[in-house]
Chain A
Amino acid sequence: MRPPILLKTILDICFIFSAFSLVVFLISLIITFSTETDLSFVSIEKPPEDLNNFALWGLILIEVIKTCAFVYGLYVLRKLIRSFFGNKLYTKLQITALNLSGRLICLSVILGAVSEFLKKMIVDSRIELNFGFEFSFSSFWIILAFGIFLIFLSKVFANARQLKQENELTI
C-alpha cells in the first residue's frame, strides 16, 4: 500500500497554521491579562458597559479549550497518518489515535457551538441556537459526523485487529 503523502502534507499544513494561531491567541491573551487592556480581540466590537468580566473570561476559556482540543486532534491525526508509513495496520496506536482524534473533534465542535451560544447570550443579550445545516464543510453537523465517524472507524480497526490476530494464529 502506498503511503498517504498528500494526506500527511495537508494535515501538516493545517496543524502548523492551527498551532500558530493558537500560540498567537495565547500570547495576545497573556499580554491583555498582564496589561489589563480591553478584550476587543475576541471579536467583540462594542462590549456592553455592564458586561460581566467573569463571563467574558469564561467565554475566552471555552474558546481556548476548543482550539486546544482541535489542535491536539490534528496532532493525533498527524501521528496516526505517520504510523501508516510503516506499513503496519490495525496497531493499538492507530486504534487509540482514531478514537482520541474523533473525541477531540467532537469536543471541539460542541464547545464551538456552546461558545457561539454564550457569546450571543452574554454580548448581544439574546438567546439563539443555530444548528442549521449549511452547505459547507465547516458546518457543525458535518464536523460532528466526521468526529463520530473517526470513533466508529476506531471500533472497526479494533475488530479488524482481532480478526487479524485470529488469522495469524490459524495454523
Chain B
Amino acid sequence: MGIIINLDKILEREGMKSNELAEKIGITTANLSILKTGKAKAIRFSTLEAICEILNCQPGDILEYLDEK
C-alpha cells in the first residue's frame, strides 16, 4: 500500500492509548484498529481533523506516502 498510517507512532509520542483516542474522536475502537492497520479505504476530513486536534499534529504526520517502486 502506498499510504502508511503513522498513528501508532504519534500515539506513543503523546502517551495515549488507542481506546482513549477512539473515545475522544467518537469512533469505535474496531474502526480505529481498521485505520491503524491500513485496512481503511478512506478517511473523513472530520475524523482527520479530530485526530489532529487531539494528538496535536498535522495530517502529514499521520499519513505518509511510500513509493512502492
- Chain B proximity mask over A156-171: 1 for CB below 8 Å, otherwise 0: 0000000001100111
Selected from B27, B32, B40, B47, the residue in CB contact (under 8 A) with A169 is: B40
A169 to B43, CA, bound (A): 8
Size band of the interface chain A makes with B? under 10
B13 CB within 8 Å of chain A: no
Category for how many chain B residues contact A:
10 to 19
A118 to B31, CA, bound (A): 61
Query: In whole angstroms, how far apart are the Cα atoms of A169 and B35 in the complex?
Result: 8
Judged by a CB distance under 8 angstroms, whether B63 is at the interface is: no
B34 contacts partner chain A, Cβ-Cβ < 8 Å:
yes
Closest to B27 in A: A171
Cα A169 to Cα B44 with chains together (Å): 11
Bound CA span A171–B42, Å? 6
- A170 near B44 with CB under 8 A, answer yes
**Chain B interfacial positions (CB closer than 8 Å to A):** 27, 31-32, 34-35, 39-44, 47
